Structure 1
Amino acid sequence: MNEPLASAALHTIELGVDGMHCGGCTGRVQRALAAVPGVVDAAVDLDRQSATVTALETVEPARLVEAVGEAGYPAVVREAGIGAAAAARTHEHRAAMPAASGAADRTLPADTTIELDIDG
């Protein structure tokens, strides 16, 4: 796995991984994830059929899904949290934007999960 720079922002991505049935499977998935540039840590859970990855913000969740797929296991992104630096930039960006006429400021709770289906 790659070591992060001291000032690099990290994010955590949880993947659902299908088809794992033994420790050998989890090892293959873990090694595939660890080989992706920018991955700092990858933990695979056989019982939950999942993998939790800590990576630099530059690592796209789709690249992790691709790496697991190349290892022979179908995967989907369950959750992708943004790092502190990205969250701060988002907050600064929102603060700089004028409010839409009549629109309420709707801030979602920190534990909100948004599920997206992306075709293509």
Structure 2
Amino acid sequence: MKKIGSLLAILLILSGCAEGDRYNFNGSGDNWDVFYTVDVTSPDSKEATGKIVYTGEEPPPDSIIYSIESTAGASSGNAMVDGGEVLVGKSTCEGCAVIQQGDELKVEIKWDGQVEEFALTNQ
């Protein structure tokens, strides 16, 4: 009986170490598409990366100011646009609130005196 209890305890511990969830958020505005991936690595830690793609008819701007916000926090920065794209660098946090599957993220992109805002949803 003691062995069964030990085996169950080990299985419970190992199940807590299983790989977390991955959420792929995306959305589009008039001039931009945004793809944002969040890997939930534990109940209170995550890693996020993304890509912002210019889809407008004018030549792409040289740089943008962006922010991607959720109820669990925000990612923002000033970035150079290379080939019509901006890579959103990997952000990590431990001991933080994490994005949930049904969350909607708010995006704001500023460039050349223009501002575009739209939402990202999990696909």
Return the TM-score normalized by structure 2: 0.31
- The structure carrying a bigger helix percent of its residues is 1
Return the TM-score normalized by structure 1: 0.32
- Flag the structure with more relative contact order, 1 or 2, with Cα contacts below 8 A and sequence separation at least 6: 1
- The structure carrying a bigger strand percent of its residues is 2
Choose 1 or 2 for highest CA Rg. 2
